[in-house]
Amino acid sequence: MTLAEENALVESEFNDLLQGYINSNHRKKVEMIERAFRFARKAHKGVRRRSGEPYILHPIAVAKIVSREIGLGSTSICAALLHDVVEDTEYTVEDIEGQFGSKIARIVDGLTKISGGIFGDKASVQAENFRKLLLTMSEDIRVVLIKMADRLHNMRTLGSMAPNKQYKIAGETLYIYAPLAHRLGLFPIKTELEDLSFKYEHPAEYARIAGLIKQSESRRNSIYNDFSAPIKESLAKMGLKYEAKARLKSVYSIWRKMETKHVPFEEVYDLYAMRIIFDCDDPTQEKATCWQIYSAITDLYRLHPDRTRDWISAPKANGYQALHLTVMGPDGNWIEVQIRSRRMDEIAEKGFAAHWKYKIGGESDEESELNVWLRTIKDILDDPNPSAIDFLDTLKLNLFASEIVVFTPKGELITLPTGATVLDMAYTLHSQIGDKCIAGKVNHKLVPLSHRLSSGDQVEVLTSRSQTPKPEWLAFLATAKAKTRLKAALRRIQQPDIERGRSIIADYLSERQSEPTNEILTKMMAYYHVTTRDDLYLRLGRGDISLDGYILRPAKDSDKSLFKKILRFGRRKDDSEPGSDAPAPSPARINTKEIYHLHCGGADQNFIFPDCCRPIPGDDVMGFINDAGQVEVHSLTCPRAQVLKASFGNRILATAWDVVQQKFRAEILIGGIDRHGILSELTAMISTQLGIDIRALNIAADKEVFECRLGVMVDDTGAVDSLCAKVKKIKGVKSAVRVS
């Protein structure tokens, strides 16, 4: 592309952004947006993205998302155009303030502080960067909304990145950004982030499911038309102005259902939902209209009694309002119908940006749902020393929680995540109430601290002055706020023992003329099987363990940091002869930018399997370089892998199965109708006809139905697929799926 063609493309993209803004409902500040564009274009002049295109196209694309998909105005569009200027060029925040004022400068400054993604290279930096992100949210929510748009465009253009970077960014997106988009009410963005992450982590599976969706389109449309025609006729008689459409489940959510329910694509029946969006000029009539539509639909179709969701009377914490019901469709499958007003739909699509627009006078900023949530998040931010992994996991509890609504004895409404207990409720009210809580009364009935609450419960918390926080309480807490407050209380109680333990280690090392380095403390933690330094100090301080039997070995190359050695693979057995004084040859460094080829079995195996998952050749996997310099291989669906991708992106390897010289264990779940002799047919087919070794077999029958869990040794996923297909041909077998 010539320079003239590039300039024409940039101008065309900017004019498209401008036209979309002019067509919106915002006050027209075109001159300021044009100035921001010219300023950013000059600042990024000559710079290109990894794909080779001019860099300025990225800020324009982010500004388009901010304007059209989130619905923000001129201030946010300008900040989006300028969001990389301070980080990537010689211009400062003061320059931005001089040209565009303090409001835009403050947003650009907030975006600069959290640049480079949420996560840095070191654990403490990750936690700190994430704190910055959440703190800037409380100052101006537009910072995180623009950051969300930036991440969405980066995901849309992820194809130009190296495979290991794709894993890192996709994992980080799925772990943090998608839940954050969900919490902010940005449902279309959350769905697209999930789908794009899935596409890069599991490209073959993504393509397969997308293909199956396309194949079933005509049949699906036919069923939807049969289902919706009577409803449309009924709504027309009511004289409503409305829009009705089928909302298809995303590829990622279909795959998740297939994975969690162990069902094939053909058995995912709720592939789509019907959405009815009606126009209503009077907000006070919205609720009544929703229930009128509900009544019309239930006159036509049979209602599922347990799947009605009223988020109009009690909106979700992110502002979402709608009435959901599930009815039996003409094909005998359940179909969900979502009923919303035009106002509710805009809030559902654009989140809090639209929520402000429709805000009813009298509701103070301090009590908006977002600020209530941000106050909860600040409890986590106030925790002085979380480990990065704990910090992110605790936060994720709050980000992606399904919700219930409970009441205090005075009728005050409190939103909690599903699975919350009486103790969660106590800590939500106040940390001192949580610390002193002994039991609860739910609907006037006495219950223990661990009692799980249900929506609509009336909850009274009972306290005692003599009560003290217990470590075992952590096992049944569901809210991030409660876990953070309990850990802080336990630390206060345990602090004298921790200090005593710290002193014991300091004295022990001082006597041996050594320092408490990271390497020494890490080895001690491994020796005593504890996960944190505080746990080590605490157990020593309490006298649970002793250093008497511990032998301190002098560290070799102690001046070199552990991190410098992380990218080196462990020594092979044949590198030096036993007893030889000759040093082993230095192992080659692992290039994280190249695909790492996995050799299975034999002397040249170049990876290890951790305890958390056991993938087999053919599975989508990734490599992780652990602290010992070994390559761990994790399935991409492994929960531990999600954390590693989000937290240690610089140690992630893109991998490919190469030389395979061993068998792998796989677990198969078989179900069907029980009959005499079915077990012998199963075992004969697997061991005799297919020549597959059976390592475990557990079969149980309940009246006419049986379930069999089978452990077999196979070469790869192809052998598993073939086994499942052949087993399903046995009379009576209804399903056969791999479960691990």
Selection from 651, 652, 646 nearest residue 127 by Cα? 646
DSSP state of 400: T
Q: Are strands 309-310 and 459-463 parallel, antiparallel or unpaired?
A: unpaired
pLDDT at site 425? 94
Does an H or E element contain 174, and which? none
Across-strand partners of 604?
A: none
Residue 118 has pLDDT above 60, yes or no: no
pLDDT per position as a tens digit, 712-731: 888 888 888 888 988 888 88
Evaluate if residue 582 carries a pLDDT over 60: no
Of the candidates 13, 53, 88, 667, the residue annotated as catalytic is 88
Contact 576, 583 (CB under 8 A): yes
pLDDT band at 322 (very low <50, low <70, confident <90, very high): very high
Assign 266 to helix, strand or coil: helix
Order of strands across the sheet with 733-738? 693-702, 705-714, 664-673, 733-738
Which pLDDT score is estimated for 21?
A: 86
Q: How many CB atoms are closer than 10 A to CB 187? A: 17
| Separation of alpha carbons 430 and 424, rounded Å | 10
Taken as a whole, the chain contains a residue count of 740
- CA pair distance 126, 389, nearest whole angstrom: 9
d(CA 168, CA 180): 17
Q: If pLDDT is split at 50, 70 and 90, which confidence band does 464 have? A: very high
Percent of the chain topping pLDDT 70: 84
498 compared with 350, residue with greater pLDDT: 498
pLDDT at 614: 81
- Check pLDDT > 70 for residue 439: yes
With a cut of 70, say whether residue 529 has pLDDT above it.
yes
pLDDT value at 598 more than 70:
yes
Percent of the chain that is helix, strand, coil (3-state, to 5): 50, 15, 35
Q: Report strand pairing: 705-714 vs 652-660.
A: unpaired
Counting residues of the chain whose pLDDT is more than 90, the rounded percentage is 23
Phi, psi of 325 (to 5 degrees): -140, 155
What tokens were used for 222?
């036919």
pLDDT at residue 286, rounded to an integer? 92
From residue 605, alpha-carbon distances to 479, 548, 584, 598, 651 in Å are: 43, 38, 18, 8, 19
Kindly state the tokens that stand for 317: 């914490």
Measured between its terminal Cα atoms, the distance across the chain in Å is 49
Residue among 578, 586, 491 nearest 541 (CA): 491
Residue 367: pLDDT band with limits 50, 70, 90: very low
- CB under 8 Å to 331, separation ≥6 — which residues? 223, 226
Contacts of 217 (CB under 8 A, 6+ apart): none
More confident residue, 690 or 123: 690
Q: How confident is the model at residue 134 (pLDDT cuts 50, 70, 90)?
A: low
Mean pLDDT of all residues in 181-204: 89
**Number of Cβ within a 10 Å radius of residue 611:** 6
Return the bridge partners of 737, or none: 669
- Of 325-329, 583-587, 590-594, the least confident: 583-587
Specify the DSSP class assigned to residue 559: T
Write down the number of H helices and E strands in the chain. Answer: 29, 18
State if pTM tops 0.75: no
Q: Is 88 a catalytic residue?
A: yes
CA angle, 114 as apex, 113 and 118 as ends, to 5°?
155
Mean pLDDT of 731-736: 88
CA distances, 225 to each of 14, 196, 228, 271, 302 (Å):
40, 30, 5, 15, 18
Of 90, 122, 193, 200, nearest to 151 by C-alpha is 193
Evaluate if residue 370 carries a pLDDT over 70: no
The residue type found at 347 is I
Residues pairing with 325 in the sheet? 337
Mean pLDDT of 165-170: 84
pLDDT band of residue 585 (cuts 50, 70, 90) is very low
CA–CA dist 493, 687 (Å, integer): 59
Triad 290, 294, 296: Cα angle to 5°: 120
**Nearby residues of 543 by Cβ (< 8 Å), 6 or more positions away:** none
Tell me which DSSP letter residue 715 carries. S
Between 483 and 647, the higher pLDDT residue: 483
Identify the pLDDT of residue 208: 93
Distance CA 685, CA 74 (A): 68
pLDDT digit string, tens, across residues 475-524: 899 888 888 889 888 888 888 998 999 999 888 888 888 888 877 887 78
**Any idea what DSSP says for residue 342?**
H
For the chain, state the CA radius of gyration.
Answer: 29
Enter the tokens of residue 322: 């709608």
Return the structure tokens found at 300. Answer: 């036509």
Torsion region of 733: left, alpha or beta (phi above 0 gives left; psi -120 to 50 gives alpha) = beta
Q: How, if at all, do strands 621-625 and 631-635 pair?
A: antiparallel
Question: CB neighbours of 153 closer than 8 A, spacing ≥ 6?
Answer: 58, 61, 62, 65
pLDDT of 559 higher than 50: no
**DSSP code for 662:** S
Report the SS3 class of residue 337.
strand
Structure tokens at 492: 């206060």
Structure confidence at residue 385 (pLDDT): 53
Q: How far is 429 from 278, CA to CA, in rounded Å?
A: 38
CA distance 341 to 100: 38
Model confidence at 381, pLDDT cuts 50, 70, 90, reads low
User: Sign (positive/negative) of CA torsion 179, 184, 187, 190?
Assistant: negative
- Among the listed residues 11, 16, 87, 704, the single catalytic one is 87
Mean pLDDT of the chain: 81
- What integer pLDDT is reported at residue 194 of this predicted model? 94
Q: Which residues contact 136 (CB under 8 A, 6 or more apart)?
A: 110, 113, 114, 143, 144
- In the predicted model, what is the mean pLDDT of residues 313-339? 86
Distance CA 53, CA 47 (A): 9
Query: Is 604 part of the annotated catalytic residue set?
Result: no
426 band by pLDDT with thresholds 50, 70 and 90: very high
pLDDT of the residue at 179: 81
| Selected residue with higher pLDDT from 200 and 180 | 200
**DSSP 8-state symbol, 622:** E
Residue 385 to residue 383: CA distance in whole angstroms: 6
CA distance 505 to 686: 57
The beta-strand segments (E) located in 517-637 are 596-600, 621-625, 631-635
Q: What pLDDT, on a 0 to 100 scale, did the predictor assign at position 117?
A: 39
> Which helix (DSSP H) or strand (DSSP E) does residue 211 occupy?
helix 203-215
pLDDT value, residue 564: 41
DSSP characters over 86-121: HHHSS--HHHHHHHH-HHHHHHHHHHHHT-S-S--S
